[in-house]
Amino acid sequence: MSYRVCLVCLGNICRSPMAEVVLRSTLADHGLGDLVSVDSAGTGGWHQGHPMDDRAAATLAEHGYDGSLHRARQFLAPWFGEIDLVLAMDNDNLRALRRLAPPGADVRLLRSFDPAAPEGAEVPDPYYDGRESFTEVLEMVKAASEGLAKHLAAVLR
């Protein structure tokens, strides 16, 4: 793997693991699966070791993705030395990551790679909402993953 991406939300049980699974699949579809490593983490550590939220896993499964191997973990500042691109799901997590980041670290919002998303668009936290919110998150993640795959294809080839 020559390029590493880490997707980050608050607890690493909903948005970022969904994005990890989708991005990994999208990169494989674009022939980049062997060139890019994809991980996820949370800015908070209270879910460490837990599997993905059942609703997130079910939403992924309904759309042909498998999130069963995921276990939550907390993002740590030393990881910046190993990761090329850190993608936050929302502005709160973006600010938290930028506080940890060394100068020059590439930290952005995931939806900045979706050409149809407005500037500053976030992936909202579906945790306290119904199942339809997880489907909406999945659609946002899929669109951003396509844009990111196209960006990485241009950068890495």
Full DSSP string of the chain: --EEEEEEESSSSSHHHHHHHHHHHHHHHTT-TTTEEEEEEESS-TTTTPPPPHHHHHHHHHTT---TT----B--GGGGGT-SEEEESSHHHHHHHHHHPPTT--EEEGGGG-TTSPTT------TTS-HHHHHHHHHHHHHHHHHHHHHHHHHH-
Query: Model confidence at 157, in pLDDT bands (50, 70, 90)?
Result: confident
Query: What domains are defined for the chain?
Result: 3-156 (3.40.50.2300)
Catalytic residue among 39, 90, 114, 125: 125
> pTM for this one?
0.97
Whether 135 contacts 14, CB under 8 Å? no
66 is an active site residue = no
Range 3-15 average pLDDT: 98
Decide if pLDDT at 50 tops 70. yes
Average pLDDT over the chain reads 97
Decide if pLDDT at 22 tops 70. yes
Encode pLDDT of 101-142 as tens digits.
999 999 999 999 999 999 999 999 999 998 999 999 999 999
Catalytic residue among 6, 14, 15, 55: 15
pLDDT (0 to 100) of residue 140: 98
Whether 140 contacts 20, CB under 8 Å? no
pLDDT (0 to 100) of residue 37: 97
15 is an active site residue = yes
Decide if pLDDT at 80 tops 70. yes
pLDDT (0 to 100) of residue 1: 57
Decide if pLDDT at 71 tops 90. yes
pLDDT (0 to 100) of residue 2: 86
9 is an active site residue = yes
Catalytic residue among 9, 24, 55, 114: 9
